[in-house]
Amino acid sequence: MSQNFLPPAPDSFTEAPAAPAPARTGNLGLGIVAAVVAALVAAGAYGGIMNAIDREIGYAAAGVGLLVGLAAGKIGGRNPVLPVVAAVLSLGAVYLGQLFFIALVLADYGKVGVGEVLGQAGVSGLNDVWKESMDAMSFLFLAIGGFVAFGSAKKVSD
């Protein structure tokens, strides 16, 4: 004689359904910190990419915006301030990437380190070179980065 050791079937009328997972609220402060870190990393990568290919490309500026927006939206959640913060930080990251590119070019030209260029020229000296080299495309790349950051922060937090 064989015995069946299966547990009894649950009574569907007496057991309560499982509670839904709590809604993710996010954290504004952590979202901003994550966006700042992403902006600094993206600025360095953007300047390095421009130096490697010796030009600016829109896809790289969009990548900066995407990275900053994703960091802000994923960590920060649905706060309506985060897309704006991500856009502003992305503008700053593209600008810093352009300054880093200028520093890298000057370091290559002078056969010195980037630290020495920053020490001699400083940020104001690099900014002067940046202003002289600006054209419509440079502003377009700034706008692309900000636009993509805003959109990606808004989309990923939905």
Q: What is the pLDDT of residues 83-115, one digit of tens each?
A: 999 999 999 999 999 999 999 998 988 888 888
Q: What is the pLDDT of residues 22-47, one digit of tens each?
A: 555 678 999 999 999 999 999 999 99
Residue 63 lies in a domain: yes
- Between the alpha carbon of residue 77 and those of residues 5, 65, 133, 136, 146, the distances in Å are 48, 17, 38, 34, 19
Judged by DSSP in three states, 57 sits in: coil
Residue 6 lies in a domain: no
Residue 115 lies in a domain: yes
* Residues 154, 29: Cα–Cα separation, whole Å: 16
Q: What is the pLDDT of residues 65-89, one digit of tens each?
A: 999 999 999 999 889 999 999 999 9
* Residues 130, 84: Cα–Cα separation, whole Å: 25
Number of independent structural domains in the chain: 1
For the cut 60, the answer to whether the pLDDT of residue 1 exceeds it is no
Look up the domain containing 57 and give its range.
28-157
pTM across the whole model:
0.80
- Higher-confidence position of 8 and 46: 46
Residue 9 lies in a domain: no
Residue 70 lies in a domain: yes
